[in-house]
Chains A and B, each alone.
Chain A
Amino acid sequence: MDKKRPQLSLSELYQLKWIMGGALALLSAWTVLYMDVEASLWLVLITVAVPIVLRWPSLTLRVPRWAHRLAFPLFVALFATDFYLHRDPLPAMIRLALMLVFYRAITPRKRRDDLQLIVLGLFLVVVAGVISVSLAFAPQILLFTACTLVFLLLITLIDSAEAGQSPVVGSAPTPTASTEPPAWMRSEWRRLARRLREATDWRVAMLASGLFTGVLAFSALLFFALPRFEIGNSFFLDNLMRKESKTGFSENVRFGDVTKIQEDTSVALRVEVSDPRAIPDSPYWRMLVLDSYEDGQFGTSRELANQMLAQKRKASTVTGSSRPRSGDVMWTFYLEGGLSRYLPLLGSFRQVQFNGGSQDYAINDEYRMLRLERTPAKMFAYRVEGMRYEATLGKPEIVQWRESVAMHDGMPEDQGDRNGSPLLPPTFLNLSLGEADLEKLSGWVRAIDAPPGDATAFAARASRWLAQNHSYSLQMNIGPGDGDQLVRWMASSEPGHCELFAGAFTVLARSAGYPTRMVTGFRGGTWNAGSNHLSIRNSDAHAWCEIFDEKVKGWVRVDPTPGNDVPTNQPGVEEDANARLARISDSSWSSKLDGVRMFWYRRIVDFDQNTQAELARDAKNAIQSRAKKLKELINERLKLIGDWLQEPWDVARLVAWVAVVGTGFGVVLGWRLVGRGWWLRWRSGMTRNGVDPVRREAGRWLRRIATHSLNADDPEAAQVLADLKRLRYGPRQSWPNPQGAFRRAKRACK
């Protein structure tokens, strides 16, 4: 006899509900962690207070009555003040929601309050998801859904258990005169856990989790199948919050800024390529060009900035200056939010398409720079077609006519002859250094002793000279003395990082009379073989130079930082593409997680109408190709059989054939005669409680026979009946073969 499962009592249900409520509050409060809202006070309060009241629920009754009365006016006042002070509606609302969650979590709740808690939690989770599009949203919402379902289930169970009764005293949120806490509040949680385990039937639990998985699968299906059409864009929550870009990828770079970024090993940029062979050997992802150097700080000069042509209209596609070529690959970039408003690119491109609608942007074809009006706060994706990886940036292949809305004052009257050489504004030769420093520089230029007029040779020699004097380090240690820090460093033999090398090279080249500029961005990247994308981490941030070579009429990339190759003019032609990928591929655990995140971006966050259509097409194609393959397979097999049949028959073949068929037949027959019976017996031996399967089956047959009114005089029928009865009620040792008995019963029933 199986033991009856115990029932959870009402107070145990209350305890469970209390725990689930606390869990919900914690879950929804922790969204703040990745939301970038200053609400750490509430986060800490909730994180500390909720476990305490979970452990000692009766503490909630200690809150004096006036506090409850004051709570809501207080929250409203706090919200109003907050909004007045910050003028930021969304963070204020989030803080308000957190306050309410806090209040609901630490006071006794009625049914209405439970629902409120759920709605608040949902608000927080969804808002956090929308404004961060972080992968954390996925587990968060799943966990939240599971908790909410359990919570609602408990509420329903409590309701039905309490139906018609007066509710348990003290479950009401007015802990007024009743100082006596209700029974459920004093309890040992260990006992509750034991009771819960006792009351849970594993089959029901399995069924419930299976159903929940089904819900998830169904919602995934819904997600991909919901019809998509865009109505409009750009007015939602994420625009309610401002986000600054990281220094280092903004217009002004102080020494050490890039290094600071380098300390962060999280992924900054993910690139998906339709053809991995197009990935260059050592890619330099250019973001922005810095030309001015003043007060130890590189920056974009006003002149250069003015050349970024801001477009009047928002658009979702930008046509670039590159000519379409056959075999152009498609690059999809996923730029982490809050990084920069300059989009990393390899070089000139034919077309950029922004995912997620139109954007304000500015572009300069000469410098191959593309800038958004504001730094994206969340992940920003864009597709680039026909991108060229150029070691030498020449003039644009196609000169696009750009309608500018930028201010024209301060810009050179002539934007340069568009068909002539690339524009050479004087900013690329500017050196705003003291006399002493300039002299030191010209001394070093002489020491480098490059043939004049040969920019490439100068670059090589200057790089070598720098590398001789300085080693690479992430530490920044500028030599003693006064004057410009860059010159000081050059004079010393301290190690330095990429910015210092690039800066030093820039000032050296300029002082030697070559127009030079500093470029920041990323270099390299690792290939994630799991999800087939290139991830570029923040630690890949880099600064390098571009020097204008009169001979080729273009800007040649120079990377003076030691350890980096001198620019190769023909990127990785000799090396096999696969080998290259293998060299840079990464299969660590973090890369696997990165693959998941990539999936999240690629397939979920970035899912739109086009992708949906693509998915449908893919699914259709896959099904069609499978069907085709299957058909081919069947045809092939049929043909094989036909061939085989047409072969001449001899005795050996016939015997072999008969043996094979006979064995198969024997196996089937044996199984039906004996095997299934043994199997049933074995299973019935395994059955601990409840009716074992053989008995159940026999009972089924007995019932069926009862409706058939067998002829009782027929000895065969009597035997069948006796066998079935014995199987159903008799001792196991005396059983006939169950399978045989069932088969005879089946025959008798006909």
Chain B
Amino acid sequence: MSDFVSGPAVTDAKQTLDRLRTSMRQTIKGKDEVIDQVLICLVAAGHPLIEDLPGVGKTTLAYSLARSMDCAFARIQFTSDLLPSDVTGVSIYDDQEKRFVFKKGPVFANVVLADEINRATPKTQSALLEVMDRAKVTIDGEPHDVGSPFMVFATQNPVDYEGTFPLPESQMDRFLMRLHMGYPKEADELDILRSTRNSYDAIALNAVATRDQVLHLQEISQQVFIEDTVLEYILKIIGATRTEAEFKAGISVRGSLALKHAAQARALLSGRDFVMPEDVQELVVPVLAHRLSLLRQSSDPMEERRAITAALRRIVGSLQSPV
């Protein structure tokens, strides 16, 4: 029973996370919710899929996170002619050494921004997804560890769907959350306009957390206590998606695990060593929505997203939360 975190460890974790949050707020204005969700992804060792229009700060978000924790950052712009080796790296023959030498691709970083991931061909997509899943690149049968911690920010543009290869549902499952940035509020945008810098390279952030701290966070987040009724609550939600008539298929086991980890991470984020039902409720939509698809296919992807969100909200509303 003692493998639960408690007391000082939680306080430490909260302080670290608070520092990260404050640091990211300096560059991302008025998007506290998104920052929290990104931090949850970080703590739960998951990868966010950010879906929004271009130019709302997706890259800035990823970059400021990387800078805040003193990590290597890489950005890959996905296009339809991008090859898997462009992502993972390639072995080239070294004339001097008379053997193949592995040249690391951009994925060998801690925070990887995979921009417009749905533009690439499925082959390339799956190469990235494999790395996401295992935090490893296997070239010529030889595994190479990517950075640790490792986090992929994938983005896709939901409106401009022409000429894309939408990620299949099975692949969507590998993202912990799907986030929406949305436009900032007027006051926040005014703030942004007033600021002097205009490219993300100009972001000057000090590292407020070390990699080890982040890894430790990831480790202890798994030990956050979940009471049985809360676990049952998660199961009930998952079960409801499986019986809901509107959905093509329910949430997989990976999905329920993801919900659990995310809830643990959220508890840690709010400085608790135990999970509350509200953690689960808050995370149902970001964690589960992208794993579901409607039975009645809608021609408009945004329409479909709205319908799924509404259905999930309804499920959460109809289930009695464990009090």
Contacts and interface: CB of A to CB of B under 8 A. Distances in A.
A touches B (Cβ under 8 A): yes
Interface of A: 1, 691, 695, 699, 702-703, 725-726, 728-734
Given A729-B276, A731-B6, A734-B6, A699 B322 contact: yes
A730 B323 contact: no
B275 A729 contact: yes
Contact of A691 (B2, B6, B229, B274): B229
B267 to A, nearest CB: 9
A695 B6 contact: no
Contacts of A702: 323
Contact of B225 (A1, A725, A731): A731
Interface in B229-243: 229-232
13 contacts: A691-B322, A699-B323, A725-B272, A725-B274, A726-B274, A728-B227, A729-B227, A729-B277, A730-B227, A731-B4, A732-B1, A733-B1, A734-B274
B140 interface: no
Nearest to A699: B323
Contact of A729 (B4, B6, B230): B230
A1 to B, nearest CB: 6
A729 B276 CA distance: 6
Interface string B258-280: 00000000000000111111000
Given A703-B323, A726-B274, A734-B273, A695 B2 contact: no
A702 B322 CA distance: 11
A729 B230 CA distance: 8
A731 B275 CA distance: 10
Nearest to B4: A731
B4 A728 contact: no
Nearest to A733: B1
Given A730-B274, A731-B273, 14 more contacts: A1-B232, A691-B228, A691-B229, A695-B227, A699-B322, A699-B323, A702-B323, A725-B274, A728-B227, A728-B323, A731-B225, A732-B1, A733-B2, A733-B6
A732 B275 CA distance: 13
Contacts of B229: 691, 695
B323 A731 contact: no
Contacts of A733: 1-2, 4, 6
Contacts of A734: 4, 6-7, 273-274
Interface in B73-114: none
Interface in B200-259: 225, 227-232
A728 B322 CA distance: 9
Contacts of A726: 274
A691 B232 CA distance: 11
A721 to B, nearest CB: 11
A691 B7 CA distance: 24
Nearest to B267: A729
Contacts of A729: 225, 227, 230, 274-277
Contact of A1 (B1, B7, B228): B228
B2 to A, nearest CB: 7
A325 B232 CA distance: 84
Contacts of B272: 725, 730
A732 B274 CA distance: 10
Contacts of B277: 729
Q: For A699, A703, A732, A734, which residue has the most chain B Cβ atoms within 10 angstroms?
A: A734
Contacts of A691: 228-229, 322
A730 B232 contact: no
Given A1-B232, A725-B276, A730 B225 contact: yes
B65 to A, nearest CB: 29
A699 B277 CA distance: 12
Contacts of B274: 725-726, 729-731, 734
A399 to B, nearest CB: 90
B7 to A, nearest CB: 8
Contacts of A728: 227, 323
A104 B74 CA distance: 85
A699 B230 CA distance: 12
A732 B227 CA distance: 9
Interface string B173-212: 0000000000000000000000000000000000000000
A702 B229 CA distance: 15
Given A699-B323, A725-B276, A726-B274, A731 B1 contact: yes
Contacts of B1: 731-733
A202 to B, nearest CB: 21
A594 to B, nearest CB: 57
Interface in B1-26: 1-2, 4, 6-7
Contacts of A695: 227, 229
Contacts of B225: 729-731
A734 B224 CA distance: 12
Question: Which 4 A-B residue pairings sit nearest by Cβ, starting from the closest?
Answer: A731-B225, A730-B274, A699-B323, A729-B227
A662 to B, nearest CB: 37
A726 B6 CA distance: 12
A1 B233 CA distance: 11
A173 B276 CA distance: 58
B224 to A, nearest CB: 9
A642 B4 CA distance: 60
A730 B275 CA distance: 7
Q: For B7, B229, B276, which residue has the most chain A Cβ atoms within 10 angstroms?
A: B229
A527 B245 CA distance: 79
A729 B273 CA distance: 10
A295 to B, nearest CB: 92
A692 B3 CA distance: 21
B3 to A, nearest CB: 10
A702 B276 CA distance: 12
Contacts of B6: 731, 733-734
A729 B272 CA distance: 10
A703 B4 CA distance: 27
